[in-house]
A and B are shown apart, each in its own frame.
Chain A
């Protein structure tokens, strides 16, 4: 039986999920087609909107700074209202599991590198780590983990001039484990509260961990730990540790595998389900059929069989270079692999990078350019297709990495693309 929907969204990351939910809200039938697991699972789980614009000074109010962005920046194209709508939609989806929605102002959150980062929304589990809070802090690292050293992170926070006293310590993780245990092993132990032998006594891993940390707490009123406090039961793990320690506990956002990213990813999937969006997972979109300027269907490779998925409107949310929504070749240059949308880029490969690792990297700007309804534009600034829209990392024009604007751009472009696609699909139906 032919697959036919009002809207098909390609890509199941933050942008794809939110665009699908947004489109579904308009009453459209929506299908989300995903291939590999989203790169969101590698991300820290923080929702950045705009942390920097050119200077090294962090931006306190991202909304006040939107005006200063260049005209071809995704925010300038989408508009401030879209940024706010995106955040509202996000807040609705994640509910109490995130904070930051009480103010327009960015929060500064300590990352596992010891640097603080401006961000707009942060997991509730990271909230007690906020840097504009003057309560003394203890940063705990673990000998068996190599990601950071607790004392080094503490010294670095101090070097950044944080307004609180901070100490750091390296602890042993209770129980037996092999030398090359990964963070998932420790998270699992806390998640199921596995019994461990600690100090000659058998006790739950959470209690044992608290007992290990407790002698180092001193004057600290909050304790930071790697973001490994369980998976589905993270609130319970954190509350248990807080009860044992008598102080606040927070998670420090980490790199892959990132539990806050995984939790957010799971949360989004539930919200997509709840919105009535159908999900086709595990198969790539490998092509499309179009009439003149309208896409009729996309072709999904279903274990070697090519299946057309028909829709009125399509949303491209396949991500940027990391998620392979944008690809490149030594001889052919930079391309968007599904619809071959135009990606502005220098012809000479040696103009794709800056010599300084943290210089202004041209490759970070790679992506499609869009009109105000998020339709990708060709080299002459005309829409590639009437019914194709883009959302998230596949859209270029700004260095979302340096700006710390990645999630905000995903949310703003996703709400516009999703809403427009839903509305247009309804119009198509009326006309037919």
Chain B
């Protein structure tokens, strides 16, 4: 088959990356375009919960069943992205017994393993649960790293011949005779990996079919395609607050119908509190408010009281790409279904050549990808099996963690363990570098080798390196490693690029840190400010500001003075006095 259909997938979140992988594995030619980094949209802004389906077991059983099936598959194909922490639905005295029983029955109806625990049994698992809880239901919730998962999907797609273009926002949908025939993108820094200071270019990418997997941004693509009927995505913002440590090792849910601030997810070295649900007009421009952060801490400390006094390191907001079919008219956005919908614009809008996938959840990304890939293959009469449920992602191939990795690569064991967990079956390939492999990010135990691997994968974009490696995501929020990460760029990229990337990373970290500025974290932020502004003088750096520096007006040292006032006389004792 010489003429493989070429499919353009718009959107580099979990769904888009999943579709790109699926279609590429089925032998189609695929180009994925993403406006920012992979996970730039909602995928990169979620709490990292691998749903058991328990949360939907009462209100949305179809979604719940999909969750538990996909939960089992991801544990298998994405083992290096998943930590099976288990989850609890905790009932407080003020929560109804009726709902507790409904939750339990719902789980059973959806084949979600569920077990009732007494308060004592629940506290044996999670000692910091409040003293006055009634009981809990234990379910197989887990934690998943959305960045690692997306990158692994994209890497797999590339292995199967796909082209992945990040930082390439779609500026137009190309149409001929009313049919979608491709997209026009604006490469922020030219095609390929993002490299600061390279000029932007535009490119028309022609396609046999276009898949719109842009989540909360789907409506914009719809507009560009000139669809008569709006794609009515209803973006709902939600806050997530990151704690300095894992106050819990199990996903802790509040067992009540719905509400804000009802979940704590342990994630790597942190715990993430979530969330709120407020409908917004624009997925990129909405207020990030103090009350939302306060609500997380105040409400969730009813479940886990130590959260009240604990240190938060940052907060971030995500936008759910909720969708409801026209004329449903749900007034409260928290009631909108979490299911996904496939909109074939040929049937819906009489525009051939494009399908949108909207709604859905991160946990079921693979299933959504499978369904839309089936749909695309059917368009072209291709009979190819979906393999994504069985073939492990890069990093999750058959792999046994070898203790001697640490010795082999000369890494102290806690650091080696963290690296191995992140890299999975890629450990060998990544850690085997020439020369010393010092630790770059101490909070998250990231060594030079991982940083270099991240740079290889994502160009000079240190925020993308951060997402791949977790460097700068720990307690100090990059105070001690933003500059080190920039220094790792230098070999491959020149000085202005490294400093641009450094400044961009530093500012991105501040964006979330500022929501956690009280107590210890304000002290930490002041230390970071002191290190980067007082010690390094990066805030007034003459090389990157418009400063006018008259070097001759400043002290030129005593050695030069002694030699007659002219700086630059080659006195061998330089500026030293009195030390020999």
Interface residues in chain A, defined as those with a beta carbon under 8 Å from any beta carbon in chain B? 39, 42-44, 48, 51-52, 55-58, 60, 95-96, 99-100, 102-103, 105-108, 111-118, 124-125, 127-128, 130-135, 141, 143-149, 151-152, 155-157, 159-164, 172, 178-181, 221-222, 235, 238-239, 242, 246-248, 250, 253-256, 258, 320-322, 324, 327-330, 348-350, 352-353, 355-358, 361, 363-364, 400-402, 404, 406
- Complex A-B, nearest 9 residue pairs according to Cβ-Cβ distance, in ascending order: A127-B575, A248-B574, A96-B578, A134-B568, A113-B536, A128-B574, A155-B495, A107-B555, A321-B526
Interface residues in B497-530 (C-beta closer than 8 Å to A): 498-499, 506-507, 509-510, 514, 517-519, 522-523, 525-527, 529-530
B542 touches A116 (CB 8 A): yes
Closest A residue to B495 using CB positions: A155
Residues of B within 8 A of A180 (CB): 411-412, 415, 438-439, 447
Interface string of B472-514 (1 = CB under 8 A from A): 0000000011011011101100111011000000110110001
Most buried by B among A96, A113, A402: A113
Residues of B within 8 A of A222 (CB): 574
Instruction: Write the nearest CB–CB distance from A248 to chain B, whole angstroms.
Output: 3
CA of A150 to CA of B498, assembled, Å: 13
Q: A127-B575, A133-B557, A152-B490 are in contact. Are A56 and B534 (CB under 8 A)?
A: no
CA of A357 to CA of B411, assembled, Å: 34
Residues of B within 8 A of A117 (CB): 536-537, 540
Residues of A within 8 A of B567 (CB): 132-135, 163
CA of A52 to CA of B488, assembled, Å: 31
Closest A residue to B568 using CB positions: A134
CA of A222 to CA of B447, assembled, Å: 32
Residues of B within 8 A of A146 (CB): 438-440, 448, 481, 484, 487-488
Residues of A within 8 A of B555 (CB): 100, 102-103, 105-108, 130, 132
CA of A117 to CA of B536, assembled, Å: 8
CA of A145 to CA of B483, assembled, Å: 12
Q: A132-B556, A406-B534 are in contact. Are A58 and B517 (CB under 8 A)?
A: no
B579 touches A124 (CB 8 A): yes
Q: A102-B561, A143-B436, A149-B487 are in contact. Are A328 and B519 (CB under 8 A)?
A: yes
Residues of B within 8 A of A349 (CB): 290, 517-518
Interface string of B74-110 (1 = CB under 8 A from A): 0000000000000000000000000000000000000
Sample (11) of A-B pairs whose CB atoms are under 8 Å apart: A114-B541, A114-B543, A116-B549, A118-B554, A128-B576, A133-B575, A146-B440, A164-B568, A180-B415, A255-B535, A404-B540
Instruction: Tell me if B297 counts as interface (CB < 8 A to partner A).
Output: yes
CA of A42 to CA of B550, assembled, Å: 30
CA of A128 to CA of B555, assembled, Å: 12
B534 touches A401 (CB 8 A): yes
A127 touches B574 (CB 8 A): yes
CA of A96 to CA of B577, assembled, Å: 7
Most buried by A among B297, B557, B558: B557
Tell me the count of chain B residues lying within 8 A, CB to CB, of chain A. Answer: 89
- B517 CB contact (under 8 Å) in A124, A144, A157, A363: A363
Closest B residue to A243 using CB positions: B580
Instruction: Write the nearest CB–CB distance from B288 to chain A, whole angstroms.
Output: 9
A105 touches B553 (CB 8 A): yes
Residues of B within 8 A of A48 (CB): 534
CA of A105 to CA of B375, assembled, Å: 74
CA of A256 to CA of B142, assembled, Å: 37
Instruction: Tell me if B533 counts as interface (CB < 8 A to partner A).
Output: yes
- B518 CB contact (under 8 Å) in A99, A100, A235, A328: A328
Residues of B within 8 A of A250 (CB): 574-575
Instruction: Write the nearest CB–CB distance from A141 to chain B, whole angstroms.
Output: 8
Interface residues in chain B, defined as those with a beta carbon under 8 Å from any beta carbon in chain A? 290, 294, 297, 409-412, 415, 435-440, 447-448, 480-481, 483-484, 486-488, 490-491, 494-496, 498-499, 506-507, 509-510, 514, 517-519, 522-523, 525-527, 529-561, 567-570, 572-580
A322 touches B530 (CB 8 A): yes
Instruction: Write the nearest CB–CB distance from B492 to chain A, whole angstroms.
Output: 11
A402 touches B540 (CB 8 A): yes
B530 touches A130 (CB 8 A): no
- B558 CB contact (under 8 Å) in A102, A242, A348: A102
Summed over the interface, the residue pairs from A and B with CB atoms below 8 Å come to a total of 287
Additional 12 contacts, C-beta under 8 A, given A103-B555, A404-B540: A56-B545, A124-B576, A128-B557, A128-B576, A146-B440, A156-B495, A221-B570, A329-B519, A353-B517, A357-B509, A400-B534, A401-B530
CA of A357 to CA of B435, assembled, Å: 35
Instruction: Write the nearest CB–CB distance from A366 to chain B, whole angstroms.
Output: 9
Q: A161-B542, A235-B579, A328-B518 are in contact. Are A151 and B574 (CB under 8 A)?
A: no
B487 touches A246 (CB 8 A): no
CA of A132 to CA of B483, assembled, Å: 25
A135 touches B570 (CB 8 A): yes
CA of A131 to CA of B567, assembled, Å: 10
Q: Chain A's interface: helix, strand, loop or mixed, by majority?
A: loop
CA of A348 to CA of B518, assembled, Å: 12
- A113 CB contact (under 8 Å) in B294, B448, B483, B514: B483
Most buried by A among B518, B560, B570: B518
A124 touches B537 (CB 8 A): no
A156 touches B570 (CB 8 A): no
Closest B residue to A254 using CB positions: B535
Residues of B within 8 A of A144 (CB): 436, 438
A112 touches B536 (CB 8 A): yes
CA of A181 to CA of B411, assembled, Å: 10
CA of A149 to CA of B568, assembled, Å: 25
CA of A388 to CA of B37, assembled, Å: 55
Instruction: Write the nearest CB–CB distance from B43 to chain A, whole angstroms.
Output: 25
- B572 CB contact (under 8 Å) in A116, A172, A246: A246
A130 touches B572 (CB 8 A): no
Residues of A within 8 A of B488 (CB): 146, 149
Instruction: Write the nearest CB–CB distance from B347 to chain A, whole angstroms.
Output: 46
Q: A56-B545, A134-B567 are in contact. Are A357 and B490 (CB under 8 A)?
A: no
Residues of B within 8 A of A96 (CB): 577-579
A358 touches B543 (CB 8 A): no
A113 touches B522 (CB 8 A): no
A127 touches B535 (CB 8 A): no
B438 touches A163 (CB 8 A): no
A105 touches B554 (CB 8 A): yes
Instruction: Write the nearest CB–CB distance from A123 to chain B, whole angstroms.
Output: 10
CA of A371 to CA of B257, assembled, Å: 58
Instruction: Write the nearest CB–CB distance from B527 to chain A, whole angstroms.
Output: 5
Instruction: Write the nearest CB–CB distance from B530 to chain A, whole angstroms.
Output: 6
A322 touches B526 (CB 8 A): yes
Instruction: Write the nearest CB–CB distance from B469 to chain A, whole angstroms.
Output: 14
Q: A56-B546, A356-B507 are in contact. Are A181 and B438 (CB under 8 A)?
A: yes
A327 touches B519 (CB 8 A): yes
CA of A56 to CA of B548, assembled, Å: 8
Instruction: Write the nearest CB–CB distance from A209 to chain B, whole angstroms.
Output: 16
Residues of A within 8 A of B518 (CB): 328-330, 349
Residues of A within 8 A of B542 (CB): 56, 58, 115-116, 160-161
Q: A160-B549, A402-B533, A404-B534 are in contact. Are A320 and B526 (CB under 8 A)?
A: yes
Residues of B within 8 A of A55 (CB): 547
Q: A147-B484, A147-B487, A364-B529 are in contact. Are A156 and B537 (CB under 8 A)?
A: no
Q: A143-B436, A239-B580 are in contact. Are A60 and B554 (CB under 8 A)?
A: yes
Residues of B within 8 A of A404 (CB): 534, 537, 540
Residues of A within 8 A of B290 (CB): 348-350
CA of A344 to CA of B415, assembled, Å: 43
Residues of B within 8 A of A125 (CB): 576
- B436 CB contact (under 8 Å) in A134, A179, A330: A179
- B548 CB contact (under 8 Å) in A57, A253, A401: A57
Instruction: Write the nearest CB–CB distance from B499 to chain A, whole angstroms.
Output: 7
Instruction: Write the nearest CB–CB distance from A363 to chain B, whole angstroms.
Output: 6
CA of A55 to CA of B517, assembled, Å: 27
Residues of B within 8 A of A221 (CB): 570
Residues of A within 8 A of B569 (CB): 135
